[in-house]
Amino acid sequence: MTITNEILQMIKQYDRIIIHRHMRPDPDALGSQCGLAEILRANFPKKEIYQVGGPVEDLAFLAKMDKIPDELYQGALVIVTDTANAPRISGERYSLGDKLIKIDHHPNDDPYGDLLWVNTEASSCSEIIADFAFAENLTLTENAARLLYGGIVGDTGRFLYPATTSHTLQVAAKLLDYGFDAVKLNRELEQITLDVAKLSGYLYQNLQIDENGAGYVFLDQAILKKYGIKDSDTAALVPLPGTIDVVLAWAVFVEQPEGYYRVRLRSKGPVINEVAKRYHGGGHPLASGANAKDQAMCQEIYRELQVLCEKYQKNEIV
Ligand code: AMP
What is the mean pLDDT of the segment spanning 184-204? Answer: 96
Report whether pLDDT(245) > 90: yes
* Dihedrals phi, psi of 291, to nearest 5 degrees: -130, 145
Distance from C-alpha of 159 to C-alpha of 171, rounded to nearest angstrom: 12
CATH 3.10.310.30 is right for the domain spanning 194-313? yes
Residues contacting residue 168 through CB under 8 Å, at least 6 positions apart? 122, 123, 124, 127, 152, 156, 159
Characterize 94-113 residue by residue with b for buried, 16 or more Cβ atoms within 10 angstroms of its Cβ, and e for exposed.
Answer: bebbeebbbbbbbbeebebb
Report whether pLDDT(264) > 90: yes
The confidence score (pLDDT) of residue 81 equals 98
Distance from C-alpha of 253 to C-alpha of 270, rounded to nearest angstrom: 19
Query: Which ligand 1 atom is nearest residue 22's CA?
Result: 12
Please indicate whether residue 291, judged by its CB atom, sits closer than 6 Å to ligand 1. Answer: yes
* Percent above pLDDT 90 for the chain: 97
Please indicate whether residue 35, judged by its CB atom, sits closer than 6 Å to ligand 1. Answer: no
Q: How far is the CA of 26 from the centre of ligand 1 (A)?
A: 10
Please indicate whether residue 288, judged by its CB atom, sits closer than 6 Å to ligand 1. Answer: yes
Distance from C-alpha of 271 to C-alpha of 318, rounded to nearest angstrom: 7
Report whether pLDDT(287) > 90: yes
Report whether pLDDT(176) > 80: yes
* 3-class state of residue 17 by DSSP: strand
CATH architecture classification, 3-190: Alpha-Beta Complex (3.90)
Encoded amino acid at 152, one letter: I
Range(s) of the chain covered by CATH 3.90.1640.10: 3-190
Q: Mean pLDDT over all residues of the chain? A: 97
Report whether pLDDT(232) > 90: no
Tell me the pLDDT band of 160, cut-offs 50, 70 and 90.
very high
Distance from C-alpha of 312 to C-alpha of 248, rounded to nearest angstrom: 9
Give the single-character DSSP code of 66.
Answer: P
Please indicate whether residue 290, judged by its CB atom, sits closer than 6 Å to ligand 1. Answer: yes
The confidence score (pLDDT) of residue 318 equals 75
The confidence score (pLDDT) of residue 317 equals 81
Please indicate whether residue 27, judged by its CB atom, sits closer than 6 Å to ligand 1. Answer: no
What is the mean pLDDT of the segment spanning 107-125? Answer: 97
Distance from C-alpha of 149 to C-alpha of 147, rounded to nearest angstrom: 5
Please indicate whether residue 264, judged by its CB atom, sits closer than 6 Å to ligand 1. Answer: yes
Q: For the whole model, what pTM was predicted? A: 0.93
Range(s) of the chain covered by CATH 3.10.310.30: 194-313
Which residue's alpha carbon is nearest to atom 12 within ligand 1?
283
Distance from C-alpha of 117 to C-alpha of 73, rounded to nearest angstrom: 22
